[in-house]
Amino acid sequence: MVNAWIDDVAEENVDAQIAADKKAAKKIERESHKLEKRLCRNVGQAIVDYNMIEAGDKVMVCLSGGKDSFTMLDLLIKMQQRAPVHFDLIAVNLDQKQPGFPEHILPDYLKKIGIPFHIENQDTYSIVKRVIPEGKTMCSLCSRLRRGILYRVAEELGATKIALGHHRDDMLQTFMLNMFHGGRLKGMPAKLVSDTGKHVVIRPMAYVNEKDIVRWSTQQQHPIIPCSLCGSQENLQRVQVGNMLREWQAKYPGRIENMFSALQHVVPSHLMDHRHHNFKAIQATGVADPDGDKAFDADEFPSASPTSIPEIQVVRL
């Protein structure tokens, strides 16, 4: 009798667990569907806003083996399937011969998903090691060499666009770094002609936030290749700015979105670059203009809603 009672309870527990598991699985499925929709919407919108991809384009998708480039490839494949125009994709990886680089991972993956690809083998690692003194950062020479090689490969493959996996947070970081260390209001554009003048470089994930990329890449179980193989330190200033932006966002939700929006709403007359606004020629027009100077009235902003209430916000760089 006692056993029957225990069995009943055990059965009920199992049933409850199954129901909870089903509910959790449904929730994960719903979230994953929402994530995919959001990512596709963001990428589609950026492609349209900047006319990134046109009919007949051959897009060279630069694949490093990191979460960003894997995600970009997935999203461009999805775009290709639903785009109103035909375009081709070719994934390209530059194997820089860093020690321990797992050569088989990307070819195996790309064969599995059935995407045309090209692996370019160039030992830039040895060049960088030979030229840069021990302990100095290797990234600037390394990326210069990589850029040159990728441009050449794009030409050889007949690619009309070069797609890079930078996302919204990379763009904001670059903007802040240029301001803090370069004294310029300059970001990372969604679309630009290369410095050689020969290629159009696009960043289809310009509107995508990094958190979504992390979620997507984890969900898809991308075979990530660690980016520390070269032994070079991550750019410390970029890391600091990234942390600063994340701290701001945690304290003031929406700040990153506002900053990104600011990059798309530039008002040259309210900055101080005479090359972009002819301040010397300014004359009173006699016509009211809401965007004109309001003299002593300070601009009004919606009140900040910090999650904590700091009296003074100290930002350590």
Nearby residues of 163 by Cβ (< 8 Å), 6 or more positions away: 59, 60, 61, 62, 72, 76, 202, 203, 204
Instruction: Give the residue with the Cβ less far from ligand SF4, 45 or 140.
Output: 140
**Near ligand SF4 by CB under 6 A: residue from 59, 230, 245, 256:** 230
Q: Provide, rounded to whole angstroms, the least separation between the CB of residue 139 and ligand SF4.
A: 3
Does 138 bind ligand SF4 (CB under 6 A)? Our answer is: yes
Instruction: Give the residue with the Cβ less far from ligand SF4, 139 or 224.
Output: 139
Does 213 bind ligand SF4 (CB under 6 A)? Our answer is: no
Does 237 bind ligand SF4 (CB under 6 A)? Our answer is: no
For ligand SF4, which stretch binds (CB under 6 A), given 103-111, 135-143, 214-222, 284-292?
Answer: 135-143
Q: How many residues bind ligand SF4 (CB under 6 A)?
A: 6
CA nearest 53: which of 221, 206, 203, 155? 203
Q: Provide, rounded to whole angstroms, the least separation between the CB of residue 99 and ligand SF4.
A: 11
Q: Provide, rounded to whole angstroms, the least separation between the CB of residue 230 and ligand SF4.
A: 3
Does 142 bind ligand SF4 (CB under 6 A)? Our answer is: yes
For ligand SF4, which stretch binds (CB under 6 A), given 80-88, 103-111, 139-147, 294-302?
Answer: 139-147
Q: Provide, rounded to whole angstroms, the least separation between the CB of residue 316 and ligand SF4.
A: 24
Does 139 bind ligand SF4 (CB under 6 A)? Our answer is: yes
Instruction: Give the residue with the Cβ less far from ligand SF4, 77 or 132.
Output: 132
Does 232 bind ligand SF4 (CB under 6 A)? Our answer is: yes
Does 47 bind ligand SF4 (CB under 6 A)? Our answer is: no
The contact set with ligand SF4 (CB under 6 A) reads 138-139, 142-143, 230, 232
